[in-house]
A = this chain, B = another copy of it.
Amino acid sequence: MAGPALPEPVRHAVTSEINATAASLLGFLHDGPLTGWDLVARAEQTMGPFWSLTKSQVYRELAYMAENGLVTPGVTGRREARPYTITDAGRAAFAEWAARGPGEGTIRLPLLLFVTLGRHLEPGLLRSVLVEQRTHQTKLLKEYLAMRQALGDGEGDPVDPHVLATLEYGITVARATLRWIDRLPPEIRG
């Protein structure tokens, strides 16, 4: 009974879909070549906390994408900087990712976990955490407002409304969070 070998399951059968991390890098590369370092900075500057990204991930995805022809590494310039350029295949992969729509996203807020489980925490702990959080959100909001101000003052290039819209989201959420903290009942806020 020499049966046929079990077939290897075929992965990535058609197009080897890229993940959201790679897609975000390709998105930024539409504006021109950038190094891994630049990409980390760009993500941080334009998306703040709403798109977390570490340099390890970035270098890994860049290497993967270079292997697959989605980007091409350039010659190293100043210091060891190696700029990557998006290719037509890269643009196609990005468009394909975009066509699938944004998925659900991931949110994990330990702060909310603290609040939810508040009755099992030592009294005072939750309060001090909320005080810290208030300070943090206030600082964040201030920074966002300063950024908007700087973009508004026609400093150099015209502002992309999409980038501004993302900044507005940050402002909106920071304000909402502050209001929420301030309206928490006294049993919780102390």
Contacts and interface: CB of A to CB of B under 8 A. Distances in A.
A108 B105 contact: yes
A117 interface: yes
Given A46-B116, A175-B176, 10 more contacts: A50-B107, A52-B106, A94-B120, A98-B121, A99-B122, A101-B129, A106-B106, A116-B165, A119-B160, A173-B176
Interface of A: 20, 23-24, 27-28, 30, 46-47, 49-52, 94-95, 98-99, 101-122, 125, 129, 132, 160-163, 165-166, 168-169, 172-173, 175-177, 179-180, 183-185, 187-188
Given A94-B120, A113-B20, A113-B27, A185 B172 contact: no
The count of identical subunits is: 2
A166 B115 contact: yes
